[in-house]
């Protein structure tokens, strides 16, 4: 009886997480479709409203309507609130509110938080939620403070402060929404070191994961980091450095991107172009004008994404690290996947490859359907769009604004799957472990 009850509870946890995101998206779409949200004071097409709401809650940044000009202040506030909820997770938010109201956090609540935040155990979850909100608001405050030194002189105190807060939240949550209008993102600030580095820092901090930052914060006392944090930091640094060098190489002489910039600006914008695909979605140079090689490396970075338990999406850095280490171990003839004098269980390796397969299938299916619905677009641009949606990135080569109704629906589903789907599948795998008590005889098959 207890086993069936536990199984039912776990299934409900997955359902609550999936349905919770859907309800938040629907609520946001209803608000955005109302006349009080648009600059024109007219109703917004519900498909565009739900597209924007999905993009905000899934912290993606792909938009069919220009955020800076189409929506009024109320609509923009709704969007940034959806981004904050999507970045932190609605379960973390409801738990935090319950803590403020002095309500008791039940075991079921703790199970939901554990699944939502992708942590190892139930111990200290309430304390972690408090830490997550403290870190979030502190980082966003200082990010907004730095951005205000640039935006307040340009836009005035009220508008400049609003711009600073909006973009600080958007960057930390790896959302990529901006208010500069005409789908230009940060192109007009490509030479501004303070803005580019501040946005970059917010993206990296938000994409590392709350568990990693908690360990870094406590490092002075414990003098140790978990294997998970070491893996996340190693892969993150490798991707940032590798992406920076490759984009600098591919785009150095491209007149549509870095070609006409000074050497300092080339370094600055190559670095930012390596940071932003970690599911953030801001761009400081033309994405459509990039070389084929530049687009391809961006697609790879978008697909990998950020870290588990963070505001970022994608395959995740630790998963990518496990895959690479497994390949290295096989090539070296080792039986186990190893790093930092530790080995990983076969279950973790199997789940990493399963997630890779699922992620590739989602992107490929979305791309194939888009080739049917968006006949005037090149394959590389459609692959770029599908990967951006799955990785909840928000970068686009201009395809988003030209999507047909069918294309919009596909991108909406892909963004939702990218934020909820693969995670749900992995949770289902974790919760449905069965021991048969027997093994079949070993079979042989030719590989390679």
**In 102-218, which residue ranges form alpha helices assigned H by DSSP?**
107-117, 125-155, 157-172, 193-208, 210-217
Phi-psi region of 279 (alpha: psi -120 to 50; beta: other; left: phi over 0): left
Q: What pLDDT was estimated at residue 3? A: 47
CA proximity to 62, closest of 72, 71, 52? 52
DSSP 242-267: HHHHHHHHHHTT-TTTTTTS-HHHHH
> Would you say 132 and 84 are in contact if contact means Cβ atoms under 8 Å apart?
no
Q: Which three-class secondary structure state does DSSP give residue 337?
A: strand
CA proximity to 299, closest of 243, 368, 251? 243
CA angle 80, 81, 85 (to 5 degrees): 115
What are the C-alpha distances in Å from 79 to residues 33, 45, 287, 409? 12, 16, 24, 19
Q: What pLDDT was estimated at residue 5? A: 42
CA proximity to 168, closest of 147, 152, 192? 147
What are the C-alpha distances in Å from 185 to residues 61, 145, 190, 201, 298? 10, 20, 10, 17, 17
The one-digit pLDDT tens for each residue of the chain (448 residues) are 444 444 444 444 556 666 777 888 999 999 999 999 999 999 999 999 999 999 998 888 899 999 999 999 999 999 999 998 888 765 555 555 555 555 555 555 555 555 555 555 555 566 777 777 888 889 999 999 999 999 999 999 999 999 999 999 999 988 989 999 888 899 999 999 999 999 999 999 988 877 788 788 777 766 778 888 888 899 999 999 999 999 999 999 999 999 999 999 999 999 999 999 988 889 999 999 999 999 999 999 999 988 877 777 788 888 899 999 999 888 888 888 888 778 888 888 888 888 899 899 999 999 999 999 999 899 999 999 999 999 989 899 999 999 999 999 999 999 988 877 665 555 554 555 555 566 667 665 655 6
Rg (C-alpha) for the chain, rounded Å, is 22
What count of other Cβ atoms lies within 10 Å of the Cβ of residue 57? 33
Q: What pLDDT was estimated at residue 333? A: 83
- Tally of residues, the chain: 448
100 burial level (CB within 10 Å; 0-12, 13-18, 19+): exposed
For residues 71 and 82, give the distance between their C-alpha atoms in angstroms, rounded to a whole number.
Answer: 14
Q: What pLDDT was estimated at residue 24? A: 87
Q: Can you list the positions of beta strands (E) in 17-82? A: none
Q: Which three-class secondary structure state does DSSP give residue 443?
A: coil
Q: Which three-class secondary structure state does DSSP give residue 205?
A: helix
Q: Which three-class secondary structure state does DSSP give residue 71?
A: strand
> Would you say 375 and 345 are in contact if contact means Cβ atoms under 8 Å apart?
no
CA proximity to 246, closest of 233, 258, 261, 264? 258
What are the C-alpha distances in Å from 408 to residues 175, 267, 277, 364? 18, 35, 21, 16
433 burial level (CB within 10 Å; 0-12, 13-18, 19+): exposed
For residues 257 and 42, give the distance between their C-alpha atoms in angstroms, rounded to a whole number.
Answer: 37
- Taking each helix axis from N to C terminus, what angle separates 46-57 and 405-419, rounded to the nearest 10 degrees? 20
What pTM did the predictor assign? 0.85
Q: What pLDDT was estimated at residue 1? A: 40
pLDDT in tens, 158-189: 999 999 999 999 999 889 899 998 888 999 99
Q: Which helix (H) or strand (E) holds 373?
A: helix 346-373
What count of other Cβ atoms lies within 10 Å of the Cβ of residue 409? 16
For residues 40 and 313, give the distance between their C-alpha atoms in angstroms, rounded to a whole number.
Answer: 33
> Would you say 266 and 252 are in contact if contact means Cβ atoms under 8 Å apart?
yes
Beta bridge partners, 338, equal: 343
> Which residues are CB-neighbours of 209 under 8 A, at least 6 positions away?
232, 306, 307, 308, 309, 310
What count of other Cβ atoms lies within 10 Å of the Cβ of residue 372? 11
């Amino acid at each position: 009886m207890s086993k069936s009850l536990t199984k039912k509870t776990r299934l409900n946890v997955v359902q609550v997480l999936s349905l919770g995101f859907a309800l938040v998206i629907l609520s946001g779409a209803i608000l955005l479709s109302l006349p009080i949200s648009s600059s024109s004071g007219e109703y917004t097409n519900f498909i565009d409203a739900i597209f924007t709401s999905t993009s905000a809650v899934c912290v993606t940044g792909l938009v069919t309507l220009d955020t800076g000009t189409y929506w009024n202040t109320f609509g923009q506030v709704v969007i940034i609130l959806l981004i904050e909820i999507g970045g932190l997770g609605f379960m973390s938010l409801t738990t935090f509110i319950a803590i403020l109201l002095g309500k008791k956090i039940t075991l079921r609540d703790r199970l939901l938080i554990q699944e939502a935040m992708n942590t190892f155990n139930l111990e200290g979850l309430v304390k972690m939620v408090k830490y997550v909100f403290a870190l979030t608001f502190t980082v966003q405050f200082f990010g907004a403070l730095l951005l205000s030194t640039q935006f307040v002189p340009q836009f005035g105190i009220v508008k400049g402060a609003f711009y600073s807060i909006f973009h600080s939240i958007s960057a930390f949550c790896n959302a990529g929404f901006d208010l500069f209008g005409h789908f230009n993102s940060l192109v007009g600030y490509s030479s501004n070191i303070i803005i580019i580095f501040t946005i970059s820092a917010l993206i990296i901090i938000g994409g590392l994961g709350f568990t990693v930052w908690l360990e870094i914060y406590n490092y002075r006392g414990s003098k140790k980091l978990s294997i998970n944090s070491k893996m996340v930091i190693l892969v993150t640094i490798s991707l940032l450095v590798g992406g920076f060098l490759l984009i600098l190489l591919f785009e150095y002489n491209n007149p549509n991107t870095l070609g006409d910039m000074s050497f300092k600006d080339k370094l600055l914008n190559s670095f930012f172009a390596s940071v932003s695909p970690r599911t953030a979605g801001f761009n400081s140079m033309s994405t459509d004008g990039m070389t084929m090689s530049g687009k391809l490396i961006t697609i790879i970075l978008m697909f990998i994404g950020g870290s588990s338990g963070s505001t970022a999406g994608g395959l995740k850095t630790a998963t990518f690290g496990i895959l690479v280490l497994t390949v290295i171990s096989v090539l070296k003839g080792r039986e186990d996947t190893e790093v930092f004098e530790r080995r990983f269980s076969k279950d973790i390796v199997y789940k990493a490859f399963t997630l890779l397969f699922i992620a590739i299938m989602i992107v490929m299916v979305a791309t194939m359907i888009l080739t049917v619905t968006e006949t005037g677009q090149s394959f590389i641009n459609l692959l770029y769009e599908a990967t951006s949606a799955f990785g909840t990135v928000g970068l686009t080569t201009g395809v988003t604004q030209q999507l047909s109704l069918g294309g919009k629906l596909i991108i909406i589903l892909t963004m939702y799957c990218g934020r909820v789907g693969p995670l749900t599948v992995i949770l289902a795998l974790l919760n449905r472990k069965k021991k048969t008590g027997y093994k079949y005889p070993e079979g042989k098959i030719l590989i390679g």
